[in-house]
Structure 1
């Protein structure tokens, strides 16, 4: 006899609730410890957490979120797109891979923050510079995973697509990118924290908006509680991007996770 649908649904809800509890347990403990440890603080650089929370709605209004957070997210997204595009081109063409490999290995050894002054010389101080800085760091995990994913496309699948006349953009979309998408998403996940760090660093140089710029302005103006709200918002942004990324990954790679699950169930 099969399991009644209602029982399956209730079990799914229980599992989801347990995952939520496990995900929130440690953050809740850390916030409670911070709240208790800073409750009686008189240090200007270590204000009580209740003061930081109280300043949050006054600092991060809708206008400031649109003016500082949205540009930062758009720059981060642009860096991601650049990494995927470059990795796909290099990975799908052997001669391009052979031509670019020495230069890529050289640039890979250079820390991206060191390149900020150099990039400013060529790209100026606008959004192009910030996008280039983000791409210069997060491109590596994305690029290398994309190259390996494209290189590892099943030859039988590639020959079958060729025999059916699937070429050009259709081959790239339906064969190459689909086969490489698990590794591309692995690279994107690895690059997420790197991209956020470089997003902040790039906005500390000759910027007029963005999270990094705003946090530095608060620090220079000795608005320490406001500075802490920016740091907390940056952490919340990273967490939200990670959650959204996980949801997108499960949706886009549903076929891949289904294959893995069926493989684990098979004898």
Structure 2
């Protein structure tokens, strides 16, 4: 940051404002509101609409990814049938499908949520499949020996044993969802952080554009930090078992 500040001041470039100017502009746009939170209506509008779409698409991806991953990982027949389809679809870049989603779903929130869900489901799905396949067969046989029904085996054995890999996939998909959120808002959007970036670029308000980029970086960091805290709490038993091993 110091080097950036020195270089920007020395170079006096219109395209690369110094961090001090970006910080001042971020304060004016989003953090100069009334106490106690000091947030402006613009921040609530931009962050609220963007995070609403992102969490909706990401939530759909997590639920479907875990459910389908368990089904595919537990069934050899299902795995052989759908593996080629899964690997074909996951190789398709989400942004390349924006024209298709626009034609099928229009320009409203449904298109953006669907794009986020499609692009962020694959890390969850693939990690869930790997996690289920890596379960020690002795655990499952023990559950059968004790007469546990299949539903109890899923919730008491399969999901807990696969949870570390599932959480790893969910964390990766969160980053993907954030990227797709911005990309979807750069396309015919009327609000959100991506729309703010596009408007700043079109009006040549480059300090505002860099402020939006910095806001996205902070948002991504906070989301990752919050997820890490939740993961540590949920998987505390797993880390304790590994330490005992």
TM-score band, normalised by shorter chain = 0.7 to 0.9
Give 1:92's match in structure 2, choosing from 70, 73, 84.
70
Deviation at 1:183, TM superposition (A): 0.3
Find the aligned partners of 1:255 and 1:111 in 2 and give their Cα distance: 36
For residues 41-80 of structure 1, what are the structure 2 equivalents within 5 Å?
A: 41-60=11-30, 61-80=39-58
Change (3 A) 1:161 1:72: farther
Deviation at 1:230, TM superposition (A): 0.4
Find the aligned partners of 1:65 and 1:159 in 2 and give their Cα distance: 53
RMSD: 2.0
What TM-score comes out, normalization by structure 2 length? 0.86
Q: Deviations over 1:3-50 (max 9, x none)?
A: xxxxxxxxxxxxxxxxxxxxxxxxxxxx11111211244322222222
Number of residue pairs matched by the alignment: 232
Match of 1:177 in 2: 159
Match of 1:243 in 2: 225
Give 1:125's match in structure 2, choosing from 97, 107, 110.
107
Say yes or no: does 1:102 pair with 2:72.
no
Q: Deviations over 1:33-80 (max 9, x none)?
A: 111211244322222222211111111243122211122223222333
5+ residue gaps in structure 1?
Answer: 1-30
After TM superposition, the structure 1 stretch with the greater mean CA deviation from structure 2, 177-186 or 43-52, is 43-52
Find the aligned partners of 1:135 and 1:225 in 2 and give their Cα distance: 32
Change (3 A) 1:208 1:114: same
Find the aligned partners of 2:4 and 2:51 in 1 and give their Cα distance: 28
5+ residue gaps in structure 2?
Answer: 31-38
Find the aligned partners of 2:243 and 2:207 in 1 and give their Cα distance: 48
Give 2:4's match in structure 1, choosing from 34, 37, 41.
34
Find the aligned partners of 1:130 and 1:78 in 2 and give their Cα distance: 10
Deviation at 1:166, TM superposition (A): 4.2
After TM superposition, the structure 1 stretch with the greater mean CA deviation from structure 2, 71-80 or 105-114, is 71-80
Find the aligned partners of 1:261 and 1:139 in 2 and give their Cα distance: 31
Deviation at 1:229, TM superposition (A): 0.6
Contact 2:66 2:166 survives alignment (8 Å):
no
Find the aligned partners of 2:154 and 2:109 in 1 and give their Cα distance: 30
Q: Deviations over 1:109-132 (max 9, x none)?
A: 211110111112222222221122
What TM-score comes out, normalization by structure 1 length? 0.79
Deviation at 1:167, TM superposition (A): 4.0
